Chain A
Amino acid sequence: MMINKTFIIIVFTLFMQFFLNNAYTVEPDEALQNQKQELRARNISKNIRCMVCQNQSIDDSNAPLAKDLRILIRNKIQDGNNDEEIYKFLTDRYGDFILLKPPLKLSTLVLWFSPFIFLLIGIFIVLFHSKKSRKA
């Protein structure tokens, strides 16, 4: 009987996980009535770093600044700004750091391409070694 109870609790907890994963910080009063606009706002928010917590997007963060920025993004969408204009507004003030995905620029070339270079080096070493061991 005891095992059954524990089992139910575990299953219930795991089941609840699915709901928790879907929880988000956007408060009901923030959300826009227009579904399309709200979706756009959420997509942008997911790409914007919370400058206070730094490893969260403003969509996930409940820091006051994150809330301010979420509202600001929604206001800008309602004012008719396109996504590019909103991203520009934010990067003009907070720099590229506010974007969770760094843009491809001359200064970020190493960041974007060094993994591929290392991969090539790795492949080269593996091939080189396998050739050598086959010969032996």
Chain B
Amino acid sequence: MKKQLLKIPFIIFFLILLAFFYLLTIERNPYEIRSNLLNKSVPKFKAETLLKDKNFISSQEFGNEIILVNFFATWCKPCRDEHKFIKKFSKKDKIRVIGINYKDDAKKTDLWLKKLGNPYSDIPIDKNGRIAIDWGVYGIPETFVVNSKGIIKYRHIGPITKEIYEKINFIVKSLE
């Protein structure tokens, strides 16, 4: 009986080891933090827009169609890298792409978009980063997929890569 009890620590140690290796092998990114806004309504905000003479009022814009919300800035190099994928999204019929211009200079953004192409239907300006805080953004670029009911279904931190582009397409299809 006592000898059997002695085995317990070894069994526990083995189980911990097993859990450790299991976590090592599964595809898991510990830096990826789940958004607390998933499956919640988009935060309400009102902002001036770039290139258009109108105010962007979130409650009037969300809730009719699938919207991709992309936080970007001209000073952010990864934003430039992902721009080609954002353009690809904007060519799709069922997605509207909104770009929230984070702590940026209007003139620079204007030039940047002229040079690289403008994929955004609207560009609300987040001058002081307050809108980004409401979206739980902490490192741009960040991209959100919002369904036609105005509910956030997906968030990606960092630039959109080919894999993420395909993943978002898949998510959008499942939302249609």
Residues of A within 8 A of B (CB): 51-52, 64-65, 68-69, 72, 91-95, 97, 121, 125, 128, 132
Contact = CB atoms under 8 A, between A and B. Distances in A.
Q: Which of B6, B43, B138 lies at the interface centre, i.e. has the most chain A CB atoms within 10 A of its CB?
A: B138
How many of chain B's residues touch chain A, expressed as a range?
Answer: 20 to 34
A69 B133 CA distance: 8
Contacts of B103: 64
Interface of B: 2, 5-6, 8-9, 12, 33-37, 43, 103, 128-130, 133-136, 138-139
Q: Which residue, A51, A52, A69, A132, has most C-beta atoms of chain B within 10 A?
A: A51
Given A121-B8, A125-B9, A128-B5, A94 B136 contact: yes
Main secondary structure of the interface of A (DSSP, over half): helix
29 contacts: A51-B33, A51-B138, A51-B139, A52-B138, A52-B139, A65-B129, A65-B133, A65-B138, A68-B130, A68-B133, A72-B130, A91-B36, A92-B36, A93-B36, A93-B43, A93-B133, A93-B135, A93-B136, A94-B138, A95-B33, A95-B36, A97-B33, A121-B8, A121-B9, A121-B12, A125-B9, A128-B2, A128-B6, A132-B2
A132 B3 CA distance: 11
Contacts of B34: 95
Nearest to B33: A97
A69 B129 CA distance: 10
Contacts of B37: 93
Contacts of A91: 36
Contacts of A51: 33, 138-139
Contacts of A121: 8-9, 12
Given A93-B135, A94-B36, 11 more contacts: A65-B133, A68-B133, A72-B130, A93-B37, A94-B136, A95-B33, A95-B35, A128-B2, A128-B5, A128-B6, A132-B2
A120 B64 CA distance: 57
A51 B12 CA distance: 34
A68 B37 CA distance: 20
